[in-house]
Amino acid sequence: MFPVIKGAAYTLFHCPNVLIDHGTTQTVERDKNPASEYLKKLPAHLRSFADCVAYPPNQTYIGALAAKELDAIPKPWYQNGSQGASRFAQYGEVMPEDEFYGVMKLVDSFDLVLLEAEFASEVRKKLEQHPAFQGTDLSKLQKTSDRAAIKELVDAHIAEPLRLGDQLVGCVRQAHETDKALTAHIIFENLAAMASAVVSMRQLFLQSGLDPKQVDYIVECSEEACGDMNQRGGGNFAKAIGEVVGCSNATGSDTRGFCAAPAHAMVVASSLVQSGVFKNVVVVAGGAVAKLGMNGRDHVNKNLPVLEDVLGGFAVWVAENDGINPIVRTDIVGRHTIGSGSSPQSVMQAIVTDPLDRKGLKITDVDQYGVEMHNPEVTVPAGAGNVPEANYKMIAALGVKRGELERAGIMDFVAKHGMPGFAPTQGHVPSGVPVIGPARDAILAGKIKRAMIIGKGSLFLARMTNLFDGVSFVMETNPGFEVAKPTGIDEAEVRKLIAQAMRAMATSLAEQE
């Protein structure tokens, strides 16, 4: 039986100070030109937490605002924030930076995160009230450090700062004196990815009712790599995250594939469940610090707020078929193979139409496509265009070429089978997976029957191959369990009846004798 998707959680982390100190656009600029005009102007373009929460695409990501409702909000969205927006919604939350630093301390097993005493005490009080942290051990926040000692480590360049405005409230230390895979910079990125994944997992448990002890396996699919100098990407985030959130009966592993990794991870998780190897698998990923403020230069030049001020995370629960939740059609998996070719047409054919063709389905038989869901308000000012719309148009164009829709109907197809981009430019996070939660709800509500989730990845960035990557899978209405109906004469039952009759006759003959 096909596996089902029983829950999905989505989280954002407002990190304006991490953006300034650790986003690669900013760190590269600081290295090249410490007196840069961009770096001077940047702080004035950062948003408050309230503005970040009210930002309509962020409300859509955490499930408070439907994508169709987002589409109806006039642009620019950053000037039309949702009134009375809450940081918590049905899929998860937007977490402020101070709480996020607190979670980084909670997930740290090697005393690498140092927090100043007063700050740690305030954060502890906040996390005690946090719905996803009820009953969790917050005692690590009582182990604090002296502000002067933190400053000394940062000034000596053996720790990365944790700031709130002009206040230094903590730091992340290097984990080794000479190992370049354990520098403060790398440890910072890895702990941030882990902390954001941990909040995503906790939100999944809270929203779906999944008991952490029921989890058999975790597939982590972020864009970071943890290891030491002898095995730079050795791993394993999955087990480290599971340990923190109490998945004591689980093991796990990390799956990588740039932005396509979450789609690969969903295929792996679904296969593990369908094969019967595991019953409950969680696919999870935290955020990428490096990408904070990635297009900040363009945003500042165009006098916009720097909108890439959030880390993103998600967690999805894949489980045994319950007859209710949407199934994952593991027989309709698309893949861009090594021999597929790189033209836009061959890419879309491999990912979208080849798997549909195998089951005799048309492009229009899929009600909702989840493509690269990047927020266009972030990418258009940077010259990268409206990425989801371009992807939807390519799918529609393929449909026209195949005679499945009229050329004049391309924009109607985009409106009907697509949705506006609403995800942060966190690489792996926008790649199809933000649509899993809304598609699951729409399928359960009977609004749609079928959705295709597409992940695409830029493998060429690692300079190991010129290849591109893409994987897709289909979610569909659960047909329920069929009740077995009698289909004619049961041979075993007939044999039993004849045997009983013969035994009765033999007994009767014996009695007559």
Partner 1 sequence: MLKGKKVIILGDRDGVPGPAIEECIKSAGGEVVFSVTECFV
Q: Which string of b and e fits 68-84 if b means at least 16 CB within 10 Å? A: eebeebeeebbeebbee
427 binds partner 1, rule: CB under 8 A: yes
Shortest Cβ 60–partner 1 spacing (Å): 18
Mask for 245-274, x = binds partner 1 (CB under 8 A): --------------x---------------
Contacting partner 1 within 327-386 (CB under 8 A): 341-344, 347, 372, 374, 379, 382-385
Q: Which is nearer to partner 1, 3 or 470 (CB)?
A: 470
Distance, CA of 165 to chain centre: 29
462 binds partner 1, rule: CB under 8 A: no
466 binds partner 1, rule: CB under 8 A: yes
Q: Which is nearer to partner 1, 22 or 456 (CB)?
A: 456
Q: Which string of b and e fits 314-345 if b means at least 16 CB within 10 Å? A: bbbbbbbbeeebbbbbbebbbbbeeebeeeee
Shortest Cβ 125–partner 1 spacing (Å): 38
Q: Which is nearer to partner 1, 216 or 298 (CB)?
A: 298
Give all strands (DSSP E) within 146-243, no chain letters: 159-164, 167-173, 217-220
Q: Report helix, strand or coil for 351.
A: helix
425 binds partner 1, rule: CB under 8 A: yes
Q: Which is nearer to partner 1, 78 or 460 (CB)?
A: 460
460 binds partner 1, rule: CB under 8 A: yes
Strands 280-285 and 310-319, bridge-based pairing: antiparallel
Name the segment binding partner 1 (CB under 8 A); options: 175-183, 262-270, 402-410, 461-469. 461-469
DSSP H helices in 405-513: 410-417, 436-444, 491-512
DSSP code of residue 276 = T
Per-residue tokens: 410: 């391309």
Give the residue from 172, 374, 335 showing the smallest Cα distance to 257.
335
Please enumerate in sequence order all residues whose Cβ is within 8 A of that of 169, keeping only pairs 6 or more positions apart, or say none: 98, 101, 115, 116, 119, 162, 163
401 binds partner 1, rule: CB under 8 A: no
Shortest Cβ 189–partner 1 spacing (Å): 19
224 binds partner 1, rule: CB under 8 A: no
> In this structure, is the dihedral angle defined by the CA atoms of residues 151, 152, 156 and 157, taken in order, positive or negative?
negative
- Given 73, 390, 397, 410, the residue binding partner 1 (CB under 8 A): 390
464 binds partner 1, rule: CB under 8 A: no
47 binds partner 1, rule: CB under 8 A: no
Contact 495, 338 (CB under 8 A): no
Contacting partner 1 within 288-327 (CB under 8 A): none
Residues that bind partner 1 (CB under 8 A): 259, 341-344, 347, 372, 374, 379, 382-385, 387, 390-391, 425, 427, 430, 456, 458, 460-461, 466, 468
